[in-house]
Amino acid sequence: MKARVIAMYLPQYHPIPENDKYWGKGFTEWTNVAKAKPLFRGHYQPHIPADLGFYDLRLPEVREAQAELARDAGIEGFCYYHYWFGNGKMLLQKPFEEVLRLGKPDFPFCLCWANHDWTTKTWVKGNAVVNNPMIAKQEYPGEEDYVRHFEYCLPAFKDHRYIRIENKPVFMIYAPLDIPNINDFINRWNVLAKENGFEGIYFIGMKGGRQSSYQTIMNMGFDGVCNNNRWEAEAFVSGSRLKRRIQTLLGWYLGVSLMKFDYGKVIKNYNTTENQIENCYPVITPGFDRTPRAGKRATIYVNSTPEKFGDHVKAICENIKDKDDEHKVVFLIAWNEWGEGNYMEPDLKWGHGYLEALKSVING
């Protein structure tokens, strides 16, 4: 086995009341994806979907087609972003709930708790919403909410499709450093899991930004780390973390596109020696371009091609070749983050190019 590729999956592409209220009736990510404009000569925008079109994730036919494409490319399963804000408040839950309820598609999955605020900063709309940015505040009410959250996820954990590592259901946490008393949360869920016939939960913390590291996350009680090295890779290409920070601030305050990186240079720095550790799981990415969401303030990777992506995947697979097969997990970021130019689904420019590149490495 070369790799167990698990693709991060955004369940955003369907109307919800909150988006209707803040962005207009029927708003989805497609609204901004379709109207994105090039910011410089040769800039590939807008990105227009091909085979699946501007789909609606309420349709089971779409979800089946996605699974078929992913399976054929050598992807083991989807990791659905899961939005639990505390006290039972959720957003974007319908697509995954339908996957669970219908038993289709028959394609493996796990969950990633996207534990962050839901704000109007996600999609730039001008000054009209600046004074009222909060849509849903991420809260951590404590013990009772831990139990309620676990009980919501339990039917998924029991599903035969749920992805496991070391015979435990995988549960990723997007921002592990943000949860107060994280050990209490982990310990409580492990007790609840054992009470329900599991050996425990396999907790994976996602690394991101300069404050988190593999060891920091492991010291918090996690079983593994998703080694999302994007921030550090960009900082390395910039020349220093300080320069990276200055570029970010200037981009935001001046409203100019300064965060432009060569894809080939950035992805070389996704591949670190830490990825060779059994429970440190590397990330692969086909590209990044946040223009639909951020306009001139976007971070953009240029010169990405299926061939370069294939080389990226090969390098990661080579780095993990000595691991046990069960731990040869690689997280693909992402399956369908169209608003960040970060997707595997066919588009009008590249067609199935990225899918075929992945397939040639994983199945080759």
Q: Which is it for strands 259-262 and 299-302: parallel, antiparallel or unpaired?
A: parallel
Q: Collect all residues with Cβ–Cβ distance below 8 Å to 235 and sequence separation of at least 6.
A: 210, 241, 243, 244
Q: Which two tokens stand for residue 330?
A: 């690689």
Note every long-range contact of 235-238, with CB atoms under 8 Å and residues 24 or more positions apart, other chains counting: 235/210, 236/269, 237/261, 237/262, 237/265, 237/266, 237/269
Calculate the CA 56 to chain-centre distance: 19
Residue 257 lies in a domain: no
At residue 163, what are phi and psi to the nearest 5 degrees? -75, 135
Q: Which domain holds residue 86?
A: 4-238+263-291+303-362
For tokens 């780095």, what's the residue? Answer: 319
Q: pLDDT tens-digit profile of 55-71?
A: 999 999 999 999 999 99
Residue 82 has pLDDT above 60, yes or no: yes
Band (pLDDT 50/70/90 cuts) for residue 127 is: very low
pLDDT at 93 over 70: yes
Instruction: Note the pLDDT tens digit of each residue in 289-347.
Output: 999 998 888 889 999 999 999 999 999 999 999 999 999 999 999 999 999 999 999 99
Is 252 among the domain residues? no
Angle between helices 143-158 and 94-102 in degrees, nearest 10 = 40
Residue 258 lies in a domain: no
Two tokens, residue 281: 């799981």
Exposed e or buried b per residue across 95-125, where buried means at least 16 C-beta atoms within 10 angstroms of its C-beta: bbebbbeeeebebbbbbbbbbeebbbebbbe
Quote the crossing angle between the two packed helices 60-72 and 94-102, to the nearest 10°: 80
Please report whether residue 78 resides in a domain.
yes
Higher pLDDT, 239 or 23: 23
The domain that contains 307 carries what CATH number? 3.20.20.80
Identify whether 297 is part of a domain: no
Q: Is residue 231, in this structure, part of any structural domain at all? A: yes
Query: Is there a domain that residue 298 lies in?
Result: no
**Chain position carrying tokens 């223009």:** 291
The total number of residues written for the chain in this structure:
364
Nearest partner of 300 among 7, 11, 39, judged by Cα: 39
* Number of structural domains the chain divides into: 1
Tell me if 85 is assigned to some domain: yes
Please give the structure tokens belonging to residue 287.
């590209």
Mean pLDDT of the chain: 92
Kindly report the CA angle at 218 between 213 and 219, in degrees rounded to 5?
A: 100
Closest CA to 223 of 204, 238, 239, 237: 204
pTM of the model: 0.94
